[in-house]
Copies of this chain bind each other. A is one copy, B any other.
């Protein structure tokens, strides 16, 4: 049955079979292994492809908490709680958290979120909040992904220290303390613009890259037109007013009488109550430069500062910051806990602060309405003054050095000075920080006819540049202009003058909430202005507002 031959063949066959079996098993094993490894390798990607929008909730919770942590550290520093000796280490802490936020903003997970939103859009299951969130974060993502993370971290650390040095420099009237930091910040921003351009973003003017951060779609070309239009009406109006033989003695007296800080604090309480700032979800503290800070609608804080002989500076800074804060407090409840629970871009935010500060707070109706309560809160310091005299004083036109103390008419000229210098900084590569004070003084002389005697009253007056906020200032002028347009639109719906006279802020805030506040960051500036007027933003309302207001105040033909 088994001859040699057959036996030999059988053995060979067995060997072949064995070899084949081993090979096959090996093959199978290798196949299995590679399948496993392949599955493992694609696991993450596959997983990412299956992620639903709700899966990103913990990611956004961390994202929001980190942002709030950065804010609270800044608040701690700005309100003077953090010990001076800790500022360098606090700057480091803020830098680490900002780097972490940067890293989240530009992370693979963020990218996966965008993909999940895309899939939801395809399936028609994306809700408005998700779409709004995605739109804002995608814009940020595109802007940030072109900046190296290390560089952004160093920049963030720099601005925290720079803000401190700015404070020192301003206190000591010593530009040299701050200027090296300013130069560094400018160098970073110039590089950041380059990174964006290299990443394919197109800006007609390099400065537009920075303008776009605070107000998407705003360009220096558009601003040139806006400011030219403004200049064409403000400057003649200003000359007209300055040529009048107006007795401003009483107004001077009112504006600069000494008011004890405790009395000023009591008046701040009255203002906050009057404009409907909810102190259960807000708090007022003091800082070098007044600001507002929102940690979501349940916690929107403001600051001011008090000087015994600059009572109306604190008065209107509180009204201004309240305008910002009321905006964020009135965001729709359903946006709470999302990144949309805040205000839209800067010019809209400024339109709300300007509305309360100027349209509301510098109107004759306001002064008539608040007069009795004001006189009581001011504790005898303004018993001899009428509502009309207060109204005239707080609207006294006088070219001056300090932006935040400027009257409504000359205010935009202060902004033009900053706008034009910023535009130069980012268009003239060899312009150095050493050149800026002279430039500042020259432009102040040209537009306002006044020249600062000190750095503190000149180029060092504002915190913005120390924080790297180039491109921010124009929002103030745009905000004022939008506030005027808002009032005009509001007048179509109810008697605004009567509401102000009655201090009926409930009606005013309900209107603002409906058109502006409730949307939070769901709508951008253009979309919000489209809620106000079919034609969107138009500067003419501002020019009309200023012309009418000052014609009435100074009894000149309009």
Chain A positions within 8 Å of B, measured between CB atoms, are 27, 30-31, 33-34, 37-38, 40-41, 61-62, 64-66, 68-69, 72-73, 75-76, 79, 81-86, 88-90, 92-93, 96-97, 100, 278-283, 285, 295-296, 298-299, 301, 336-337
**Inter-subunit contact B85/A278 (CB<8 Å):** yes
Known: A30-B31, A69-B93. 15 other contacts (CB 8 A): A27-B27, A27-B30, A33-B34, A62-B100, A64-B93, A65-B93, A66-B69, A68-B93, A69-B72, A72-B73, A72-B76, A83-B298, A83-B301, A86-B298, A89-B299
Given A41-B37, A81-B285, CB of A295 within 8 Å of CB of B69: no
The chain B residue sitting closest to A301, CB to CB, is B83
CA A55 to CA B81, docked complex, whole Å: 34
**Inter-subunit contact B84/A280 (CB<8 Å):** yes
Q: Which of A281, A296, A299 has the most CB of B within 10 A?
A: A299
What distance in Å separates the Cβ of A92 from its nearest Cβ neighbour in chain B? 8
The chain B residue sitting closest to A79, CB to CB, is B81
**Inter-subunit contact B61/A69 (CB<8 Å):** no
Choose one: B37, B90, B282; the contact of A299 (CB below 8 Å): B90
Given A41-B40, A81-B285, CB of A86 within 8 Å of CB of B30: no
Determine how many copies of this chain the complex contains.
Answer: 2
The chain B residue sitting closest to A63, CB to CB, is B96
A72: chain B residues within 8 A (beta carbon): 69, 72-73, 76
**Inter-subunit contact B34/A30 (CB<8 Å):** yes
CA A278 to CA B83, docked complex, whole Å: 10
CA A134 to CA B146, docked complex, whole Å: 37
- List 29 A-B residue pairs with CB atoms under 8 Å apart, sorted by A's residue number: A30-B31, A34-B37, A37-B37, A40-B41, A41-B41, A62-B96, A62-B100, A65-B93, A65-B97, A69-B72, A69-B73, A69-B97, A72-B72, A72-B73, A75-B76, A83-B282, A83-B283, A83-B301, A84-B280, A85-B278, A85-B298, A86-B281, A86-B296, A86-B298, A88-B298, A89-B295, A89-B336, A90-B295, A93-B295
The chain B residue sitting closest to A80, CB to CB, is B283
CA A40 to CA B44, docked complex, whole Å: 13
Given A34-B34, A69-B97, CB of A295 within 8 Å of CB of B40: no
**Inter-subunit contact A85/B34 (CB<8 Å):** no
The chain B residue sitting closest to A280, CB to CB, is B85
**Inter-subunit contact B65/A280 (CB<8 Å):** no
What distance in Å separates the Cβ of A146 from its nearest Cβ neighbour in chain B? 22
A31: chain B residues within 8 A (beta carbon): 30
What distance in Å separates the Cβ of A215 from its nearest Cβ neighbour in chain B? 29
A40: chain B residues within 8 A (beta carbon): 37, 41
**Inter-subunit contact B37/A83 (CB<8 Å):** no
Choose one: B41, B85, B299; the contact of A85 (CB below 8 Å): B299
**Inter-subunit contact B281/A85 (CB<8 Å):** yes
The chain B residue sitting closest to A88, CB to CB, is B298
CA A68 to CA B70, docked complex, whole Å: 11
A64: chain B residues within 8 A (beta carbon): 93, 96
Q: Which of A62, A65, A66, A68 has the most CB of B within 10 A?
A: A65
**Inter-subunit contact B299/A83 (CB<8 Å):** yes
What distance in Å separates the Cβ of A71 from its nearest Cβ neighbour in chain B? 10
A68: chain B residues within 8 A (beta carbon): 93
A75: chain B residues within 8 A (beta carbon): 76
CA A100 to CA B64, docked complex, whole Å: 13
Q: Which of A62, A85, A97 has the most CB of B within 10 A?
A: A85
CA A285 to CA B79, docked complex, whole Å: 13
**Inter-subunit contact B41/A89 (CB<8 Å):** no
The chain B residue sitting closest to A61, CB to CB, is B96
CA A283 to CA B90, docked complex, whole Å: 14
**Inter-subunit contact B33/A299 (CB<8 Å):** no
Given A30-B30, A65-B96, CB of A283 within 8 Å of CB of B37: no
CA A100 to CA B33, docked complex, whole Å: 36
Top 4 A-B pairs, shortest CB-CB distance? A86-B299, A37-B37, A69-B69, A34-B34
What distance in Å separates the Cβ of A138 from its nearest Cβ neighbour in chain B? 23
CA A279 to CA B298, docked complex, whole Å: 33
Choose one: B65, B73, B82, B280; the contact of A83 (CB below 8 Å): B280
CA A278 to CA B299, docked complex, whole Å: 32
